Amino acid sequence: MSSLVKEDLAKRLFGPRRLRLHEFIEVEGSGAERCYLCAAVTKSEEVEICMVKHFRDREEKYEVVEKWFLKDLEMIDGKEADTDNPYFDMHFHKVYSMEAYSCASKYTFARTLSNLNEMYLKKDLKIVNFDSTYLNDDSIWSSNNRDCLVLMRICFYASNLLCLSLCPLS
């Protein structure tokens, strides 16, 4: 489903604006409308972060309601690294509080911004209150399907606990 939405966003909204969509996540919107936080790259290799509202009338419509540039992003605050929560703040000239669809999508977006920063800006981007194990693409927990990230680690810990519980005490 998300690949269809990404393809639709790229075709209807970002393509005509001559941007290449890298990643998007669903974030909490007001009421019944859907909202997406998107990261895209311009032809001049500027990284744009935007909030997009998704309207469903007779046809699908997308509207950019807020836009920022990665070069202006001072910090991403994941709120609490040791709990499974979808909340995070993006610090630009002011702080924007977001609620992602899931904790995994929050990490996916932070990882995308970190990678885009490395590719295009190479500035000191502060990413705080995130578990660094999940942010690194070269970690054992990385996968092409990034929504599995948290589930894989939970399964790993569960299997370790099972093995430990079956060991006889001497």
Segment 12-26 shows an average pLDDT of: 93
Q: Token pair for residue 38?
A: 């998107």
Burial class (CB in 10 A: 0-12, 13-18, 19+), 134: buried
Residue with tokens 């992602």: 100
d(CA 135, CA 141): 9
The answer to whether residue 48 scores a pLDDT higher than 80 is yes
Query: Phi first, then psi: what are they for 12, rounded to 5°?
Result: -85, -35
Q: What is the pLDDT of residue 148?
A: 61
Q: Where are the domains of the chain?
A: 3-142
**C-alpha neighbours within 13 Å on the C-beta side of residue 37:** 26
Span between the terminal Cα atoms of the chain, in Å:
52
Contacts of residue 121, defined as CB under 8 A and 6 or more positions apart, other chains included, come to: 47, 70, 71
pTM for the predicted model, two decimal places: 0.77
Pick one of 3.30.1340.10, 3.40.50.2300, 2.30.29.90, 3.40.50.1100 as the CATH number of 3-142.
Answer: 2.30.29.90
Q: What is the pLDDT of residues 71-128, one digit of tens each?
A: 999 999 999 888 889 999 999 999 999 999 999 999 999 999 999 999 999 999 999 9
Q: What's the longest Cα–Cα distance across the chain?
A: 70
Which percentage of the chain shows pLDDT scores above 90? 61
Q: Give the C-alpha distances (Å, rounded to integers) separating 129 from 55, 76, 83, 132, 151.
A: 33, 8, 10, 9, 20
For residues 76 and 113, the answer to whether their CB atoms sit within 8 Å is yes
Mean pLDDT lowest among 37-46, 51-60, 82-91, 133-142 = 133-142
Q: What is the pLDDT of residue 113?
A: 96
DSSP 147-168: GGHHHHHHHHHHHHHHHHHHSP
Alpha helices in 48-137 (DSSP H): 103-116, 132-135
